[in-house]
Structure 1
Amino acid sequence: MLKTLRPRSYGDVIHVGHYFCNDITVVMDLTDLADTDPTPLVDFAAGLIVARDGEMSKLAPKVFMLKPRRPRS
């Protein structure tokens, strides 16, 4: 499953965390934010990745994909 989110402020990252922590891949599109505004949101996403052993990829400028940890076999 894949969910695309377009946070408008730092307060919206709760939705990114919700989907990611429920093992849903999230595309975080920050293209509507001013150039300095995305930094705290990307920092939050990086924390999620480290804490939950996931992966983050930059798809385009200001567009990131957060992939939850793959199930271990």
Structure 2
Amino acid sequence: MVKSLRPQNYNEVLYVGHFFRKGVPVLMDLTDLTDGDAKRLVDFATGLVFGRGGALDRVDRKLFLLQP
């Protein structure tokens, strides 16, 4: 199962972390965010993936797959 999330603002990064920490791959669609907010979410996701020993793949310009 892959959880698909489309955050509407930076505050929703909590959901990305929640599912990722539970071992669920997350498809993070940032197309609704400004470039600034999208960058902040990618920075968070990069730290999360690095800290948990996972992987982060860019699928499209603002579409990322986080794998635990």
1:13 and 2:3 are equivalent in the alignment: no
Between structure 1 and structure 2, the one with the greater Rg is: 1
TM superposition score normalised by structure 2: 0.95
Letter in 2 for 1:34: T
Q: What does residue 43 of structure 2 align with? A: 43
Segments of structure 1 that go 5 or more residues without pairing to the other structure are 69-73
SS in 1 for 2:36: coil
The alpha carbon displacement at 1:12 in A equals 0.2
Task: Find the residue that maps to 2:35 and give its secondary structure.
Answer: coil
Q: TM-score, normalised by structure 1?
A: 0.89
Separation in 2 of the partners of 1:47 and 1:56?
A: 10
Q: How many residues align?
A: 68
Cα distance in 1, alignment partners of residues 41 and 15 from structure 2: 12
Instruction: Return the alpha-carbon distance in structure 1 between the equivalents of residues 35 and 13 of structure 2.
Output: 17
Unaligned runs of 5+ in 2: none
Give the drift of 1:35: 2.1
Q: What is the percentage of aligned positions where both structures have the same residue?
A: 49
User: Equivalent residue for 1:28?
Assistant: 28
More helix by share: 2
Alignment-derived partner of residue 71 in structure 1 = none
